[in-house]
Amino acid sequence: MSEPIVLQPDETFILNVGPQHPATHGVLRVKMTMDGEFIYDAETVIGYIHRMHEKMAENRTYAQYLPNLSRLDYLSAMAYCHGYVLAVEKAAAIEVPQRAEYIRAITVEMNRISSHLVWFGAFVMDLGGFSPLMYAFDDREQILDLLEAITGSRLTYCYFRFGGLYNDIDDDFIEGTRRFIKRMRKSLKMYHKLVTTNIILMTRLKDIGPVSADMCQRYGATGPVARGSGINYDVRRNEPYSVYPEFDFDIPVYSEGDSFARYKVRMEEMEQSLRIIEQGLDKLPDGPVNPEKKPKTIKLPPGDYYTAVEAGRGSFGIRIVSDGDKSPYRLKLRSPTYSNMHLFDEACRGMLIADALAFMGSLDLVIPEMDR
């Protein structure tokens, strides 16, 4: 005879979702106290892929730490590198040529689209629809090919240098990107037809996983999660950096706070990123992509520096405390997923397990970025 599954005194049982579970997309573990199919309580357990990226910074030079940044959020690595080079450039007062800044913005936005495409595919797969993943990856492949041609890597880019770029872009890239913009606009239309207007998807997302603006502020959630809850905050607009003030783009904000609002925010962000890329290509100035003069070894003057950028998942902040040495005294990364994820414990109480995992998908978690 089999031993029955033991219930706790209050007739709940513990369900371990993860660290190896198809819906957590990585090694996140959620310890759920279940009452039948309803979640009574949940506790996220992180740390399964911790690699001490912050500590690593303390015994490397600033330049040596560059590749680490793209190992945090492997889906939108460009934005993280961008944040780091901006922080160091600001502290060391390195001039960046205008052309380099434009190319940075273009590649970051392309990377944002590819990151959102992975989210889109994986999210719909969480809901049980498999085909959109394949379409999304097909489109993403075009971005990866373009970025591979200029950066040399497909996922963990190390393209930005202090003061400039690894190399310049060529006409093939510009032409290919323009072709991609056309293709992507068409694809987005198809996604809306195939997925957004699907009745099953709507019933599964509307009014599911409501996150209030207050809750977002308490947990420090940023990015599409906060914008789906009516908080009009985007680092690109609120604390402008790089050449973003020169672009004309909208920040999509929805106040419903449910999974569908977050879905719509990300879908519209892709369109806005396409607009930014298009304007960037039109306005792209000529000139060098690296400064003529730049110190060989970078040493930051003693002090405390903070820079934030808008990464694919929200506001990514980097704080460098320098004591004037070749490597930082302390480097602290503020990763958006870490804050966004902690909503889950509170928000998923009382949800069905199916809805909770859909809600988790709508938060767009990238576990290596959370654990660092």
Partner 1 sequence: MSLTLLNVVAAVIIAIAFVAANAAYLVWAERKGAGFIQRRPGPTENGPWGLLQPPVDGIKLMTKQLLIPGGVDKIIFVIAPVLAMFPSIVSFVTIPFSDTIVAHNVNIGLLMIFVFGSMSAMALLMGGWSSRNKYSMISSVRAVSQAVAYEIPMLITAITVVMIAGSLDLMDIVHKQSGGFWHWNIWPFQKGLFNILMPVSFLIFFVCSLAETNRAPFDLGEAESELVAGFHTEYSSMGFGLFFMGEYANIVIGACLTTILFLGGWDCPFGLLPGVWWFIVKIYILIFTFIWIRWTFPRTTIYNLLNLSWKVLIPISLFNLLLTAGLLKVF
Question: Which residues contribute to the site for partner 1 (CB under 8 A)?
Answer: 1-5, 13, 15, 21-23, 34, 37, 124-131, 134-135, 138, 194-195, 198, 200-201, 203-204, 352-355, 357
Minimal distance in Å, beta carbon 209 to partner 1?
13
CB neighbours of residue 349 within 10 Å: 14
At 205, list the tokens.
Answer: 């997302």
Q: Based on CB atoms, which residue is closest to partner 1, 101 or 126? A: 126
State how far the Cα of 37 lies from the Cα of 43, in Å rounded to an integer.
16
Distance CA 149, CA 151 (A): 6
N- to C-terminal Cα distance for the chain? 45
Considering the complex, what minimum distance in angstroms separates the CB of residue 308 from partner 1?
Answer: 33
Least distance to partner 1, CB of residue 332, Å: 34
Which residue lies nearer to partner 1 by CB, 78 or 136? Answer: 136
Whole-number Å distance between alpha carbons of 203 and 10: 31
Buried b (16+ CB within 10 A) or exposed e, 230-259: bbebbbbeeeebbbbeebebebbbbebbbb
- Return the number of the residue (145 or 304) whose C-beta is nearest partner 1: 145
User: Judged by CB, which is closer to partner 1: 2, or 297?
Assistant: 2
* Token representation of residue 250: 């909208």
Question: Is residue 372 within 8 Å of residue 335, measured between CB atoms?
Answer: yes
Least separation in angstroms between residue 113's CB and partner 1 is 19
Angle separating helix axes 259-283 and 353-363, nearest 10 degrees: 20
Comparing CA positions, the residue from 258, 273, 267 lying closest to residue 363 is: 258
Q: Which is nearer to partner 1, 20 or 59 (CB)?
A: 20
If the CB atoms of residues 21 and 90 are measured against partner 1, the closer one turns out to be 21
Least Å distance between CB 351 and partner 1?
10
Q: Would you state the structure tokens that stand for residue 189, as one six-digit string?
A: 């239309």
Please give the distance of CA 256 from its chain centroid, rounded to a whole number. Answer: 22
Enumerate the β-bridge partners of residue 161. 164
Residue nearer to partner 1 on the CB measure, 64 or 131: 131
DSSP states along 248-266: -------SS-SHHHHHHHH
Q: Quick check: 263 and 123 in contact, CB under 8 A?
A: yes
Task: Give the nearest distance from C-beta 52 to partner 1 in angstroms.
Answer: 31
- Is 38 or 48 the residue whose CB approaches partner 1 more closely? 38
Nearest CB to partner 1, comparing residues 37 and 325? 37
Tokens coding 336:
């958006």
Nearest distance in Å: CB 262, partner 1: 16
Q: What is the edge-to-edge ordering of all strands in the sheet holding 330-334? A: 303-311, 314-322, 330-334
Tokens 């110190």 sit on residue: 295
Q: How far is the CB of 238 from partner 1 (least distance, A)?
A: 35
Amino acid letter for position 80: Y
Q: Which is nearer to partner 1, 133 or 321 (CB)?
A: 133
Residue 21 CB, nearest distance to partner 1 (Å)?
7
Burial class, 101, CB count within 10 angstroms (exposed 0-12 / middle 13-18 / buried 19+): buried
